[in-house]
Amino acid sequence: MTPDYGIDAPGVIRNFVLGAGALLALAIVLPPTPASMARWTASIFLLEGGAMLAYALFGKFRHRDRLLAMHAWRGDERVLDVGTGRGLLMIGAAKRLATGKATGIDIWNAEDLTGNAAAATLVNARLEGVEARTELKTEDARTMSFADATFDVVVSNLALHNIGDVEGRAQACREIARVLRPGGRALISDFRHTAAYAEEFRAAGLKAEARGPYLLDTFPPLRIVTVEKIAA
């Protein structure tokens, strides 16, 4: 049995495919000019859906490695993965730990990832051999239960944009800043709102900069906000 990290945004991919099919069917009965436009739009839908699927099957593993390589691992870190899903970043971080521990939090929204459930994440952790170095909690990124300065490293990928309002995303950034230890690092990856994330971290007194977009292996193209909490 091999680990399964799911398909990201399955509903969006499905809608691209269904939309392309409907347009191609419509093109059969349309006059030549609108039929050509319908076929062109259908091809764009298929390309975007295909690019999203390629990211889900291949690109996200390269992006995980890219993101985790932005921290110089000692092996004793306490790590938090915000919006862990099926554990891609949490498990990747746990593999870099010797005495540390990686914690993943999520609210397990099925629209964000196929099979998005804590049980599936635990299976992946066991299959990857890091079950003893990981733990899961059902928590909202805006209202974490952890004490201040709990984690050396906080990571997140394609999670914060799912919070639907500006203040909610800002609160999630403030919570990440709060639970990060002085001298710690956060690595936040997303395809939109990254400039706002960086601004919110700076307002909380942390250093932050956005890198990317990474065009070759992510779709939509992702950026990574690197955050450092200055030690007192």
pLDDT tens profile 63-114: 999 999 999 999 999 999 999 999 999 999 999 999 999 999 999 998 899 9
Residues 127 and 44 in one domain: no
Residues 123 and 158 in one domain: yes
First and final CA of the chain: distance in angstroms? Answer: 47
Q: What pLDDT is attached to residue 47?
A: 96
User: Residue 79 carries which side chain, given as an amino acid letter?
Assistant: V
- The CATH number of whichever domain residue 183 belongs to comes to 3.40.50.150
Distance, in Å, from the CA atom of 169 to the CA atom of 163, rounded to the nearest integer, reads: 6
Same domain, 17 and 71: no
What would the mean pLDDT of 117-139 be, rounded to a whole number?
A: 97
> What is the extent of the structural domain holding 14?
10-60
pLDDT of residue 157: 98
Q: Confirm if 124 and 14 have CB atoms less than 8 A apart.
A: no
Residue 232 has pLDDT above 80, yes or no: no
Confidence of residue 15 (pLDDT cuts 50, 70, 90): very high
Round the average pLDDT of the chain to a whole number and report it. 96
Query: 18 lies in a domain?
Result: yes
Residue 109 in domain:
yes
DSSP string across 62-99: HHHHHHHTTS---S--EEEEET-TTTHHHHHHHTT-SS
49 and 69 within one domain: no
Does 5 fall in a domain? no
Specify the pLDDT at position 217.
Answer: 95
pLDDT over threshold 80, residue 154: yes
Q: Pick from 42, 60, 78: which residue ends a domain?
A: 60
If asked whether residues 45 and 157 sit together in one domain, one would say no
Residue 160 shares a structural domain with residue 78? yes
Same domain, 96 and 186: yes
Same domain flag for 87 and 160: yes
> Are residues 73 and 49 both part of a single domain?
no
Whether residues 178 and 215 share a domain: the answer is: yes
Strands 151-157 and 180-190: parallel
- Per-residue pLDDT band for 117 (boundaries 50, 70, 90) equals very high
Domain check: are 141 and 184 in the same one? yes
Paired strand residues for 102: 79, 134
Question: Same domain for 98 and 201?
Answer: yes
pLDDT given at position 1: 86
> Residue 3: inside a domain, yes or no?
no
Closest CA to 81 of 3, 167, 158, 196: 158
Query: How many distinct structural domains can be found in the chain?
Result: 2
In a domain, 204, yes or no: yes
Residue 2 falls inside a structural domain = no
Task: List all residues 6 or more positions away from 159 whose beta carbon is below 8 Å from its beta carbon.
Answer: 82, 83, 85, 106, 112, 141, 190
